[in-house]
């Protein structure tokens, strides 16, 4: 079976079985997680297939598991991704958690505020179907309800602030999951599956779950030694190589990008990305607008750092709103660095002497 959570209108949702002809049979549960909480969920679904309501047309996919009790994620689990990050293969899984509020639908817009380094991570998701505690791998395999597609969209500037990853992984409604859960009788192994990610149609990740260091059953068994896994919990198994942070130079999502995430045999997520710039009021402090590759930008920032001048840096190649602001200041041009002071003063492409003179003048009036 292919199970989904569909929006049915007026804020309501329903679990459903999706059919090959595109129709769906609605189930007596608000979402897939609620369905799985019933130990007899398979019988419930099969009974509904005989007597339930069929929905036609385009489906509006809600978050597959909107109230997941646990969302456990494994970092650095594909050999190629581990190597591109410059690390050795691990002896134990690297685990972190998300909250249910991070989850969003298969075709929903991903809106990010306050981050300029938004990255993609295509993943195979594993959905728990029965209680697991201190389980071996065989028991863990038997407890899997099915598999789904996810993208662990990551805010790298937040993630790298500390050694703990949570703050870069837990922004609300930034982790698309779906469009369906494919149950294990239809899709038994979860191994050897192609995992791909595309940005605006360009393939940026193309991996295979056969290279997982910790396959699904082993991973669930490990997690169950730490915490009880319950029906409707979600475990993300990690991402293959090809993330933007690992590229040279690094590359990140921009406002308006279309992110597609696909796992062979399950389905495709298609999410438009909306990057909302939390640009500070120019009267609130110095803002430096630039690009990561420009030597003049690096030189100006080094001079400011050396002088102990506080400022906020915004990359105009990442932040579309910032680029529009810079072009507005320059009659349509985009020369960097562009420095905007608290009082509205602007410097465009200053030389070192010009910038030092400006700093000296401002120090004299402060």
DSSP string, 55-82: E-S---BPPSSTT-S-EEEEES-BHHHH
pLDDT tens column, 56-108: 878 999 999 999 999 999 998 998 778 877 788 899 999 999 999 999 999 99
Contact 28, 50 (CB under 8 A): no
Superfamily of domain 71-276 in CATH is Fumarylacetoacetase-like, C-terminal domain (3.90.850.10)
- Bigger pLDDT: 311 or 162? 311
> Which segments of the chain belong to CATH 3.90.850.10?
71-276
Please state, for a pLDDT cut of 90, what percent of the chain lies above it: 70
Classify domain 282-365 at the CATH superfamily level: Glutaredoxin (3.40.30.10)
Q: What value does the mean pLDDT take over residues 224-233?
A: 98
Q: Tokens for 226, please give them.
A: 């730490």
Rounded to whole angstroms, the Cα distance separating 318 from 244 reads 12
Handedness of CA 37, 46, 54, 64 (dihedral sign): positive
Residue ranges matching CATH 3.40.30.10 in the chain: 282-365
Averaged confidence pLDDT in the chain = 91
pLDDT of residue 366: 39
> Rounded CA gap, 13 and 3, in Å?
13
- Give the rounded distance of the alpha carbon of 12 from its chain centre: 25
Contact 64, 147 (CB under 8 A): no
d(CA 179, CA 337): 43
pTM: 0.76
CB 148 within 8 A of CB 183: no
Distance CA 152, CA 164 (A): 16
């Amino acid at each position: 079976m292919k199970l989904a959570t569909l929006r049915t209108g007026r804020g309501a949702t329903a679990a459903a079985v999706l059919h090959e002809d595109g129709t769906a049979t609605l189930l007596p549960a608000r979402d897939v997680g609620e369905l799985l909480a019933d130990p007899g969920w398979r019988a419930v679904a099969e009974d509904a297939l005989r007597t339930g309501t069929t929905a036609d047309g385009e489906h509006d996919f809600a978050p597959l598991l909107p109230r997941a009790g646990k969302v456990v994620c494994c970092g650095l689990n594909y050999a190629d991704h581990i190597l591109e990050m410059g690390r050795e293969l691990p002896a134990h899984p690297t685990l972190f958690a998300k909250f249910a509020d991070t989850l969003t639908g298969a075709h929903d817009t991903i809106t990010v505020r306050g981050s300029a380094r938004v990255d993609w991570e295509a993943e195979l998701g594993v959905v728990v179907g029965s209680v697991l505690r201190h389980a071996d791998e065989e028991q863990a395999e038997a407890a899997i309800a099915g598999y789904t597609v996810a993208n662990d969209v990551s805010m790298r500037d937040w993630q790298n602030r500390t050694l703990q990853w949570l703050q870069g992984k837990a922004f609300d409604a930034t982790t698309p999951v779906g469009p369906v859960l494919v149950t294990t009788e239809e899709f038994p192994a979860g191994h050897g599956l192609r995992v791909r990610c595309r940005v605006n149609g360009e393939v940026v990740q193309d991996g295979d779950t056969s290279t997982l260091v910790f396959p699904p059953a082993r991973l669930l068994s490990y997690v169950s030694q730490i915490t009880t896994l319950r029906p409707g919990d979600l475990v993300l198994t990690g991402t293959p190589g090809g993330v933007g942070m690992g590229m040279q130079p690094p590359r990140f999502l921009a406002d308006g990008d279309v992110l597609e995430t696909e796992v062979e045999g399950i389905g495709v997520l298609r999410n438009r990305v909306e990057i909302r710039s939390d640009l500070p009021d120019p009267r609130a402090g110095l803002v430096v607008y630039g690009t990561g590759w420009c030597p003049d930008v690096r030189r100006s920032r080094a001079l400011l750092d050396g002088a102990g001048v506080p400022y906020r840096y915004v990359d105009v190649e990442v932040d579309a709103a910032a680029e529009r602001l810079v072009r507005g200041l320059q009659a349509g041009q985009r020369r960097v660095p562009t420095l905007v002071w608290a009082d509205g003063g602007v410097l465009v492409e200053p030389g070192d002497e010009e910038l030092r003179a400006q700093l000296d003048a401002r120090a004299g009036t402060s």
